[in-house]
Amino acid sequence: MNNEVYPKPIQKLINFYKKLPGIGEKNAERMAMATYTQDDEELQSFADTLKDLKKSLTNCTICGHLSESEICSICANENRDKNLICIVEDDKSVFKFENVGNYTGVYHVLNGLISPIDNIGPENINLSSLVKRVENLKKPELILALKSTVEGETTTLYIKKIFEKKNIVISRLSYGIPMGAEIDYLDIITLDKALEDRKKISE
């Protein structure tokens, strides 16, 4: 009986919502019913946004970031330091850094990581454009901000090798203890990295 409880359109909404991260059956049901009670105007506007979502967004021709125009608002911003490039895996990382709000440089979005197991080589990610981009800069500095998985480390190493030869300053995010974490609950690898990357605080 369970699968005929909801009218088809409501069930369709539930099925869509369930595909989103962190949304279970119960939540999806509640959200679908709440969607039904929204103003029709609201629904039409949401539907229109969804209909044109893929068309209305493109990748920035400079950095590869999700953008409404050919050049994203970050690359187009005159106040951003174009010589400081933070290399990230995806758009979500850019949004994360922008939410923090302290970074004044620009980004380069790889839209993937090198993963030989999955047949993803350097040519399959947004990397060749980075090489060209850096060539045109006077005093480039690269910050590698990739995750600390096998794929992330492989990509970091690969990029490091390319630019090291060209005498370009490269750094990576520091590893260490997350703020507020209890030492005795930390995993061994993180603690080992924190020890290795220790920072001198004496004068």
Spatial CA neighbour of 62 closest among 166, 158, 121, 132: 132
**How far apart are alpha carbons 103 and 83 in whole angstroms?**
13
Cα distances (angstroms) measured from residue 59 to each of 56, 67, 92:
10, 6, 13
Q: How far is the CB of 159 from a second copy (least distance, A)?
A: 24
Estimate the crossing angle of helix 150-164 against helix 128-135, to 10 degrees: 30
Secondary structure class of 1 (helix, strand, coil): coil
Which of these ranges, 66-74, 114-122, 123-131, 155-163, lies near a second copy under the rule CB under 8 A? 66-74
In the stretch 99-138, what mask flags binding to a second copy with x, by CB under 8 A?
Answer: x-x-------------------------------------
Q: Per CB under 8 A, does 147 bind a second copy? A: no
Q: Which of 18, 19, 154, 198 binds a second copy (CB under 8 A)?
A: 19
Q: Per CB under 8 A, does 68 bind a second copy? A: yes
Residue whose entry in the numeric block shows the structure tokens 């839209």: 111
Q: Per CB under 8 A, does 177 bind a second copy? A: no
Return the DSSP state at 14.
H
Q: Which of 18, 35, 141, 148 binds a second copy (CB under 8 A)?
A: 35
The number of residues in the chain equals 203
Residue whose entry in the numeric block shows the structure tokens 């399959």: 124
Contact residues toward a second copy (CB under 8 A) are 1-2, 4-10, 12-13, 16, 19-23, 27, 29-31, 33-36, 38, 40, 42-54, 56-57, 66-68, 73, 91-92, 95, 98-99, 101
